Amino acid sequence: MDIIFLRGLQIDTIIGIYEWEREIKQTVILDLEMAADIRQAATTDSIENTLDYKAVSKRVISFVESSSFYLVETLAEKTAEIILSEFSVPWLKLTLNKKGAIRGASDVGIIIERGSLPK
């Protein structure tokens, strides 16, 4: 199986459990790895035969920007559900980084995998 990836997708959203976090937008950074079979796209050289990562990124940006979750876990899970269902992705690894959430740590966040890799 092939992997199509997006790394470093920065999106501003309302995320956090503290009152001050509910009043401002913070930047989250998403890395996505998505299973896809690219053989037909490589043969036809046609975007219709592959996972359109621009369409995925536009949908994810739209969703995350308009969301307002308390937990990064919820944001990650809901984002994964959208990608899996709307883009027929069989497997996804999503890293959500809430940079700067912990003083002294360069990164903090969550990594989830959903679905299964086709054989």
Look at phi and psi of residue 8 and say left if phi exceeds 0, alpha if psi is from -120 to 50, else beta.
Answer: left
| CA 20 vs CA 25, 30, 114: distances in Å | 10, 23, 32
Where do the DSSP E strands lie in 16-90? Answer: 26-36, 68-69
Give the active site residue among 25, 58, 78, 98.
98
Please tell me the distance from the alpha carbon of residue 84 to that of residue 80, in angstroms, as a whole number.
6
Please say if 98 is a catalytic residue. Answer: yes
CB contact at 8 A, 108 and 99: yes
Catalytic residues: 98
